[in-house]
Structure 1
Amino acid sequence: MNDTLIRVICRNAEIKFTAVRTTELVERARQIHRTLPLATAALGRTLSAASMMGRELKDDNGSVTLQIKGNGPLGTITAVGDCDGCVRGYLQNPAAELPLKPNGHLDVGSGVGRGYLMVIKDIGVGEPFTGTTALHNGEIAEDITKYFAESEQVPSAVALGVLVDTDQSVKQAGGYIVQLMPGATDEDITRLEHNITAAGAFTTMLEKGMSLEDIARAVLDGFEIEVLERVPISYRCGCSHAKVTRALISLGKDELTRLRDEEDGIEVTCQFCDKVYNLTREDIDVLLTAATAREQKNG
C-alpha cells in the first residue's frame, strides 16, 4: 500500500473523519534525519497530524505548521503539511533515547516533556493564524486533541502511531482525526466513544491489513459513511537554490559583507531534507549587490 489520505463524512450524523497511512514518508524522514526509534515515533506522529490538518485548508497555497516545543530530550519538533497532504519536518535531537515504558512502548511523552504546541495556518494571503496551547502529556495525539478543543472549539479524537521494526525502520505509521460538528447528538457521541475504544490502536489495525476505509468503518461503525476523497501523499521538501539565495539576501548587507570577508564560501543545509547548497565568495558578492540595492530602495 502507498501512503494515502482519505476524508469521510457521515450521512446520518454530524461527524467528519480523516485518516492517513504515512509509513513510507515517515521512513523517508527517518532516513533523511537519521533518527533513532524515539525520535522516529515523535516526528512520525507529528508528520501524520500535519498531513491531515494541511489537507483541511481550502486554499491551494495553504500550509499548516505544527511546532512542539517541549523540555524533553527530543527538543523542538516541527512539521509542515501542505494543502495536498504532503509533508516535511525535522526535530532538534534525532539521536535522543530513553528507556522503554513498562508496557514495552516508546516513551514519547517523556521524550517531548512539558511545553507547548503551536499551530500556524497560512493560506498564502494576509497574516497567518496562530494558536498555542500547553502540552497535555507530550504524546502528541492528546496534545492535538487539546489544541482542537481549546483553540478551535471543535470536540475531536486524534489517534497517531508509529510502529518501529527491529532494524529501526518504520513498519507502520499513520493516524486519524475524527471531529464532531454542531448538531452531533449525545447518542452519536456515546456510539463514537465506544467504537474508538473497540477499534484499538491505529498501527495495530494497519498490522492486521486493514485499509483506511476499513479503519473508517470500524471507528464509525453504526453510521452511514461516504468517502469524499482518497489522495496520495508523500514526504516533500520545496527547498531550492532560489529560496536559499532569497533567505541569504534577507540577512542584509552587513551580515553578507561579514560572510564574504571572513568565510571562503558558505554551506547552507536545508533543515527539512538535508540537501546542501554551496555558495562561493563570488556568489556572496552577487547576493551582497542585491541586498544593498534592496536596502537603498527601502530607504
Structure 2
Amino acid sequence: MKDHLAKATADGVRIYAAVTTDLVNEAIRRHDCYPVAAAALGRTMTAALLLAANLKNQEALTIQFAGDGPLGKIVADAVPEGFVRGYVDEPHVNLPLNSQGKLDVGGGVGQGMLSVTRFTGLKEPVTGSIEITDGEIADDLTKYLFVSEQTPSSVGLGVRIDPDFHCIGAGGFFLQPLPDASEDCLDRLESNLRQVSSVSSMVEQGMDAKGIIAELMKGMPVHYLTATDLSFRCSCSKERIGEVLMSLNRKDLESLVQDGQAEVCCHFCNEKYLFHGEELQAILDEADRHRRPS
C-alpha cells in the first residue's frame, strides 16, 4: 500500500488520516535511525503532513520539537502537495521501554518547546509555540492546537518498529469538530476514540486511510473528499547548496578553495554534495561579484 492521505467530513467533523509507512522507512534509511528516533521522527513527519493538508498550494509548515532529551531537536517540513522531509539531531539513541512497554519517545524528547511555523506567502512566517507536555508528539500537538491556535482538535499518531529497525506500520489522524457539530456527534466521537486500536496497529493490519476514518467515525455518515499520495522528498540540490556556500564570508570561502574540495551534507535528507576546487573558485568569484559595489 502506497503512502497516502485522505480527507473527509462527517456530521460536523473534519477528519484527515494518513498512512506513512514507506516515508518513515525512507527517513530511517537516510538518517540511520534507531527505534526511538525513528518513532519520534516518524510521528513528527506524519503530523506535519496532516497539518499541512489544511494549507493552500505553495504554502508550507514546519514542526520543531526542541527538548532537553537525548534526541535533541526533531524537525519536519511538509507541504500540502504531500511531500515531507525531516531529521532528528541524534538518531542513534537507545532507551529502555517505558512503563507501558512501548518505545520511550517522551523520554527521548524530554522537556522544552514545541513550535509550529506556517509559511503562507506573507512577508513573515507565522510561528506559535508551547512548552512540551509529555514529548509523545501527538498529545503535545493536540495541546498546541487548543492553546496556541484555539482550535479544539484531536491528533493520533503511531509508528511501529520491528527488531530489525524497520517500520512495519505508521500513520496518523487529525480530527477537528466544526462549529455546527452536535453534542451527540461529539459523544459518539469520544466513544469511538476510546475503542479504536492504535493507528500503527490499524496500518499494520492493512487498513488504508479511508479505513482509519471509517473506524474513527463509526456510526456516522462519512463524506470522503480528496486523497493525496505522500512521500519523503527534500528540496535540496547542488545548486541550492552552492547558494548557501556563496553566503559564507570570504575568508571561509578562500579556505575551502585552498582545501581543494568541500563536502556538504543536507540536515533534512542526509544527501551529500561534493564540490571540487574549480567549483569552489567559481562560487568565490560569483560571491565577489555580488559583494562588489556597483
- Shorter-normalised TM-score: what interval? over 0.9
TM-score, structure 2 normalization: 0.95
8 Å Cα contact 1:268-1:278 kept in structure 2: yes
- C-alpha displacement at 1:203, in angstroms? 1.3
Of 179, 182, 195, 1:182 maps to: 179
8 Å Cα contact 1:88-1:272 kept in structure 2: yes
Of 202, 211, 218, 1:221 maps to: 218
Of 260, 263, 284, 1:288 maps to: 284
The yes-or-no answer on 1:248 pairing with 2:248 is no
Question: Aligned ranges for residues 254-293 of structure 1 at < 5 Å?
Answer: 254-261=251-258, 263-293=259-289
Of 22, 25, 28, 1:24 maps to: 22
8 Å Cα contact 1:38-1:108 kept in structure 2: yes
User: What SS does structure 2 have at the residue aligned with 1:289?
Assistant: helix
Question: Aligned ranges for residues 72-87 of structure 1 at < 5 Å?
Answer: 72-87=69-84
Name the amino acid aligned to 1:200. S
Aligned to 2:33: 35
Question: Aligned ranges for residues 1-299 of structure 1 at < 5 Å?
Answer: 1-10=1-10, 12-13=11-12, 15-58=13-56, 60-261=57-258, 263-297=259-293
- What are the Cα deviations for residues 153-186 of structure 1, in whole angstroms up to 9, with x where unaligned? 1101110000111222100001001012223233
- C-alpha displacement at 1:125, in angstroms? 4.3
Counterpart CA distance in 1 for 2:194 and 2:212 is: 13
Counterpart CA distance in 1 for 2:205 and 2:278 is: 57
- C-alpha displacement at 1:264, in angstroms? 2.7
- C-alpha displacement at 1:69, in angstroms? 0.4
Counterpart CA distance in 2 for 1:86 and 1:227 is: 21
8 Å Cα contact 1:154-1:181 kept in structure 2: no
**Can you give the 5+ residue segments of structure 1 that lack an aligned partner in the other structure?**
none
4+ long deviations beyond 6 Å: none
Counterpart CA distance in 1 for 2:271 and 2:152 is: 40
Identity of aligned residues (%): 38
**Can you give the 5+ residue segments of structure 2 that lack an aligned partner in the other structure?**
none
- What are the Cα deviations for residues 242-261 of structure 1, in whole angstroms up to 9, with x where unaligned? 10111111223343234334
- C-alpha displacement at 1:49, in angstroms? 0.5
Counterpart CA distance in 1 for 2:197 and 2:6 is: 19
